[in-house]
Structure 1
């Protein structure tokens, strides 16, 4: 079997977040806090990873939203947390704190408590728990109901119940899922849902997980626990136990939770498709447009005045990673946006797409070293002129992918280019139209631009409603990253995109 990048080489962590003793910024009720998480590597630009849900009227929130991050022990991964009070007039800053992922793992049970500060004044505590998870293809589908739940709202109200599920990790119960709440119902039936067994019990059928039944309050009052129980996947599926007695915090019964429907689900993952014989076709496009500068000058990104220009470095590093995806180490290399003057290439004038080998029938070279050598040998034979247009390259890649759609061949297409692209709208439409083809498109940004237009493509794809498969990624090349980090960064989403393709065609 071919050697490829294995997702298990990555250490994926999930961050569980809670806060305590937050200051109350409201007069007639309690604040409604939510958290924003910012992430950065030491010395690099900070990015917003996302935000939690709003915790209504709660100064001690346990947020359901968690954050997934790849842990890279040899880098300083900085986390900055900002907390805001959400109201009808907007939001108000409540405080912030920061730490690193390494600092979290140095704490007992990977659990850290941080002082929140608002303008240098104490503003509560943030509790952060990190849990390591592996890739999983085992899931469980459940539908629960409640029977004769205890009414803890008294004679003038009725309980609004929902269920909350907890994973037990290193002495800490981590909140991993909750159902919708059902208004004023002591015999509720909740909607069917699905949960990964990795998140529920670390894929251990005998490891207990906890379920709490909670009464939701709309305003001012905190939610109340009606009761809870603990069970295992072994009890549910192997011993066929489907009814559980809720026990109150102080003891005593509080009703029954019953499983109405249950099902085990197995979804093939990246390794499964590799074992089934999936192979990879590698296509690389290099931007030779005039925006890169004239190669006869040292300030050109394609300069041949000095050795190892940035394109050559990027091509070397990236093809070294990519060749492991093809058992024969075959790499098809194309140029874009220039005039090639090759002795074995008949076309003349500006070309939006041309093979660096000079032969459309044989565009491949063997191995990353040959790819770099071909780039070096062709550099003086290319006249830089015109703009970068990607339409022909993407259409070509999609034709190749469509041709291989009935085979176990998945195409990885990589573009090495600067920011100036003249057909971004066409590129975006092409990516949308080809979302269900067996290929991934990776844009590797070369140079110091911010690439905001190209990043916008990812944002537009991810904001589609209903959601669609995203097989496009942007990655900015940085010369100072080690090859191992480059490998992880460049190919982070590929396994998921292979899986998502197979899910699309099996719908």
Structure 2
């Protein structure tokens, strides 16, 4: 592998959540609790990660919805849990709790119990289990059916069955997948689905996983377990066992679960493409438009009154991370939205795109320190004027990406810029038309604005029908945290974007 990228640096965990002894807020039944999860890094805005399903009439819920996050041991990653009772009038606050991912990971078996409080009063216990999952490219695709399942709904009813799959880790069964439920069916056949072997058995073919057949009940009643069985991938694929007896919780048979069809699937992942020879081309564009302020004044984002302005800090942190993706540490540097007055540059007047080296044929510098030095040396030779337009930069990046597509070269393009751009529509259309090219575009917001227009790009991509590949990322630069945050973004977003590029070639 040529890059210094190390996949083992990514620690992906999944959070499994439950609560006990929640207060009952209802008069004639029990509360219907659900949980909302929020994620916070000090100095940044809190992020809503999502919510669980509603647990009907249940004061001791085991929520089925899980949450995937990346564990960064060098960061303080705060998790805030809020629990609500869902009722006909809306929702009612039941209590909240807070911890950090590090606190969870340092507990025995990565299992923590937290006191839930409602306005300083105790309101039950929150149980949180963290499970580490490595990136995997081994999957199984299969389909299950049931034969003569036990009736669970009395003499006049049947069973509304669905299957739940469990991973066993550190003494705890963790729910990792479930099928749809089928109404009134003692001989069901569920839809075909696929699941990662990492989630099912940590890629260990001899490690047992559990399958439960459950009868779904209407609101106000607990679901009932019809029966369960345990097996392994080795038994299913190597010993060709495809029929399993369901055993009731108190013993005794409850029907048969049969595997109708099955196959293994190998999906190449980021590491595979790196090992096959994929290399990275790094391009950084810097916004010099007049909206940044005149650098002769201390309030400018590009001020040279101070030795280390925010753009210089951002460039230093970002280039330091990015150089690890190129074996020669080559970084191409461009300016946007200004008039360069370099002695070795022939362009005149306002330029939407110009090389900081002064040479379009040789725009690269070696290493992050040289990138920062080039920025410093050029700052007094640039006249800030006009607006920020991204069209020419993106077109240039897409041309390079298209030319390198057959060479296993993937382009990482980063824009350092303030909020205001004048060609949002053109940018959106370019990203749409270039979504199949081998490049990723990362916009790093510099300054304290809310960057509403830039965030619209993500919403634009997500709203496409049919869906398109998303190769755009945005995050706002935070001083003192930038290297860690950028590294986190790259390790989250870049592998997915590289894989999605190669997957579309297969399709």
Asked whether the two chains share a fold, i.e. TM above 0.5, the reply is yes
Retained in 2: the 8 A contact 1:8–1:135? no
Residue pair 1:167, 1:199 contacting (<8 A) in 2 also:
yes
- State how far apart, in whole Å, the 2-side matches of 1:49 and 1:479 are: 24
Q: How far, CA to CA, are the matches of 1:310 and 1:140 in structure 2?
A: 49
Distance 1:433 1:482, change over 3 A: closer
Map residues 477-488 of structure 1 onto 2, 5 A cutoff. Answer: 477-481=477-481, 483=483, 486-488=486-488
Deviates most, 322-331 or 238-247 = 322-331
Alignment of 1:142-161 (within 5 A): 142-161=142-161
CA distance in 2, matches of 1:381, 1:84: 58
Aligned residue in 1 for 2:383: 383
CA contact (8 A) 1:323 1:331 kept: yes
Is this contact kept in 1: 2:318–2:482, CA < 8 A? no
- Establish whether residue 4 from structure 1 lines up as the match of residue 4 from structure 2: yes
3-state secondary structure, aligned to 1:359 = coil
Aligned ranges for residues 37-436 of structure 1 at < 5 Å?
37-436=37-436
How far apart in 1 are the matches of 2:301 and 2:25? 53
Q: Match of 2:407, SS?
A: coil
Alignment-derived partner of residue 496 in structure 2 = 496
Q: CA deviation at 1:390?
A: 1.0
Partner of 1:449: 449
Deviation of 1:362 after TM superposition, in Å, equals: 2.0
Deviation at 1:480, TM superposition (A): 1.0
Alpha-carbon distance in 2 for matches of 1:24, 1:464:
43
Q: Which TM-score applies when normalising by structure 1?
A: 0.96
1:100-129 deviation line (CA, Å, top 9, x unaligned): 112212322111122222223333322110
- Residues 287 and 417 of structure 2 are in contact (CA less than 8 Å); yes or no, is this contact kept in structure 1? yes
Whether the 8 Å contact between 1:475 and 1:490 is mirrored in structure 2 is no
What is the CA–CA distance in structure 1 between the aligned matches of 2:454 and 2:64, rounded to whole Å?
A: 32
Moved more, 8-17 or 251-260: 8-17
1:29 is displaced (CA, Å) by 4.5
Q: What is the alpha-carbon distance in structure 2 between the residues aligned to residue 459 and residue 79 of structure 1?
A: 25
Deviation at 1:190, TM superposition (A): 0.4
Q: Which one is further off, 314-323 or 48-57?
A: 48-57
Structure 1 residue 484, shift from structure 2 partner: 5.0
Asked whether the 8 Å contact 2:25–2:31 carries over to 1, the reply is yes
Structure 1 residue 91, shift from structure 2 partner: 2.6
> Equivalents in 1 of 2:212, 2:494: separation in Å?
37
SS for the counterpart of 1:406 is helix
Q: Is the 8 A contact 1:6 1:271 kept in 2?
A: no
Q: CA RMSD in A?
A: 1.8
**Counterpart-to-counterpart distance in 1, 2:463 and 2:114:** 33
How far did 1:501 drift?
Answer: 0.8
Report the CA distance shift for 1:416/1:136 in structure 2 as closer, same or farther (over 3 A): same
Contact 2:10 / 2:491 at 8 angstroms: preserved in 1?
Answer: no
Q: Determine if contact 2:3/2:279 at 8 Å carries over to the other structure.
A: no
Deviations 1:291-329 (Å, cap 9, x if unpaired)?
111111222111222212221121122112111212222
Q: Tell me the secondary structure at the aligned position of residue 404 of structure 1.
A: helix
Deviation at 1:435, TM superposition (A): 1.6
Provide the C-alpha distance between the structure 2 equivalents of 1:52 and 1:431, rounded to a whole number of angstroms.
Answer: 33
Are 1:333 and 1:371, in contact at CA under 8 Å, matched by a contact in 2? yes
Runs of at least 5 residues in structure 1 that lack an aligned partner in the other structure: none
1:285–1:333 Cα contact (<8 Å) kept: yes
Cα 1:209–1:80 change in 2 (3 A) is: same
CA contact (8 A) 1:7 1:495 kept: no
Conserved? CA contact 2:15–2:67, under 8 Å: yes
CA distance in 1, matches of 2:234, 2:467: 34
Residue 155 of structure 1, CA deviation: 0.6
Gaps of 5+ in 2: none
Contact 2:228 2:246 in 1 (8 A): yes
Alignment partners' CA distance in 2, 1:59 and 1:488: 37
Q: 3-state DSSP class of the match of 1:314?
A: helix
Q: How many angstroms apart in 2 are the aligned matches of 1:219 and 1:488? A: 41
Task: Indicate the SS of the match to 1:86.
Answer: strand
Q: C-alpha separation between the residues in 2 aligned to 1:373 and 1:290?
A: 22
Q: Distance in 2 between matches of 1:482 and 1:427?
A: 25
Contact persistence 2:389–2:421 (CA under 8 A): yes
Aligned pair in 2 of structure 1 residues 449, 361: CA closer, same or farther (>3 Å)? same
Provide the C-alpha distance between the structure 2 equivalents of 1:388 and 1:203, rounded to a whole number of angstroms.
49
1:167 is paired with a residue whose SS is: strand
Cα pair 1:338 1:350 within 8 Å, conserved: yes
Q: Name the CA shift for 1:435/1:237 in 2 (closer, same or farther; >3 Å).
A: same
